Amino acid sequence: MLATVTDPDVLQGYLTDASNIHGHAEALVRPATAEEVAEVVAHCQKGGIPLTVTAGRTSTTAAPVPFGGWLLSTERLDAVRSIDHDTATAQAGVFLGAFQDEIEAQGRLYPPDPTSRWECTLGATIACNASGARTFRYGPTRPWIQALEVVTARGERIRVERGQPIPEDWPVPEWHEPEVKTAAGYAPPQDALDVFIGQEGTLGVITEATLRLTDLPEAVIGVMAWFPDRDTALDFMEQARAAVRAEAYGAVSPRAIEYLDDACLTIARERVGEVPEGAHAALFCEQEVEPSHGEETHLEAWWALLEQTGALADDTLIATDPPTQERLHILRHAIPAGINEQAVANGMPKVGTDLAVPDDGLRRMMDLYEAAPIEHVLFGHLGNNHLHLNMLPTTEDELKQARDYYKTLSREAVALGGSVSGEHGIGKLKKDYLAMMVDEETLASFRRLKAWFDPAWILGRGTMFDR
């Protein structure tokens, strides 16, 4: 049996994630092979020992936070197996950003780009079906997975591939997901592979993945566009989105459309100082240079749309070279850093939403976000109608207000046909919100699938739903 670590000082480094929820565990195991993973899982299944999978701990939902039992870290499953023209294969503990750099050095692209890609691992991104800014063009992680090696909660090593039929005895859930960006609950699977994508470490431990690759764009244009108000920014986004829906590789065909509200710009002014006077909203966009158009054609089309929609066009930052792209990078990343510093100064956790809604619900949700009863900052994936409201309480009373308002927002998002989680998953913190979104029969179907794979209910206990 693989040696366990019980030193409290070592364990302490594995007991939390980006949610700042702290747990407890009796032991830690760090397997280096799929065989060792299977041995650990089988031991825990036989003994009824709760087992929580942990990786880079960048989750905001407490999914990798243990409340008793053992922790299984994937950090030693860190080998890159191969990078070919159409696919790449690596173990689950490889850091995503470093792996993507290796892929791009060979002229290929693996598109999923969660914000934490330099700190999160490949297996964890698959377990929560991670997204990112480029999701607007490329979709989330799910369609880019070609095959997985998984140790199921029974301790069995299996390989599942895209297109592989679902075994008849797997009681997979059948339900209708909202037609928005979503990472809430077990997705209705199209094949056996789908079952293990987005399952948040509750059905099996991903040990290795084969990914589908695509062409690396010859160049990417970054655009930071400033607007006098929110509605002008929304008008621009809607026209840009209509353009790419009409012509996927046209002159205006962004791969990302990211929103920054007035509070974001205040943070940027204080930390970077590159925000023009009169700007009260901004959009960060990326445009891949299409061979059929060329850089100049794209720039002319974007400029025309900016002027047409009332943007502060003369102040627009266009990044076509590394120094300017670095300026945009610094500007964008000043905002989350500023938010986190404010939360620390307040001595209270921030309360951040992860809601997504259909097109016709976006303006309604933005009105509600802006009506938050305490200090807040709003940014995120506007092209997908998926924004993150960060509420910054300063007292226990304000913390309660923020959490109550989150519930109000979640109910409204569901009523509009949206999802309670666009990309972060449910974890241990949003189980009540998942129950708002799906009916009792759907939750029962989730539990049936969980119980089939995990009779002793050991894996990810307390994540997504309770027994």
Q: How far apart are CA 209 and CA 146, in angstroms?
A: 8
CB 285 within 8 A of CB 223: yes
First and final CA of the chain: distance in angstroms? 29
Q: At what angle do helices 322-346 and 262-271 cross, to 10 degrees?
A: 100
Q: How far apart are CA 189 and CA 191, in angstroms?
A: 5
Q: How far apart are CA 88 and CA 161, in angstroms?
A: 14
pLDDT value, residue 19: 87
pLDDT value, residue 334: 86
Pairing of strands 80-83, 87-91: antiparallel
Cα torsion through 159, 141, 126, 439, rounded to 10? -100
pLDDT value, residue 202: 97
Q: How many beta carbons lie within 10 A of that of residue 139, not counting itself?
A: 16
Q: How far apart are CA 395 and CA 150, in angstroms?
A: 44
CB 281 within 8 A of CB 261: yes
- 330: three-class secondary structure by DSSP: helix
Strand partners, 209: 90, 148
Strand partners, 211: 88, 145
Flag residues of the chain having pLDDT under 70.
none
Q: How far apart are CA 131 and CA 139, in angstroms?
A: 7
pLDDT value, residue 411: 97
Q: How far apart are CA 59 and CA 250, in angstroms?
A: 36
pLDDT value, residue 180: 97
For residue 373, give Cα distances in angstroms to 380, 399, 401: 20, 11, 7
Set out the domains of the chain in order of their start, with CATH numbers: 1-216 (3.30.465.10), 217-341 (3.30.70.2190), 347-427+437-445 (3.30.70.2740)
CB 437 within 8 A of CB 420: yes
Q: How many residues are given for the chain?
A: 467
Non-local CB neighbours of 304 within 8 Å, separated by 6+ positions: none
In one-letter notation, the amino acid at residue 119 is E
pLDDT value, residue 325: 83
Non-local CB neighbours of 427 within 8 Å, separated by 6+ positions: 19, 59, 60, 61, 62, 63, 200, 463, 464
Non-local CB neighbours of 440 within 8 Å, separated by 6+ positions: none
| DSSP notation for 210-278 | EEE-EEPPS-EEEEEEEESSHHHHHHHHHHHHHHHHH-TTSSS--SEEEEE-HHHHHHHHHHT--PPTT
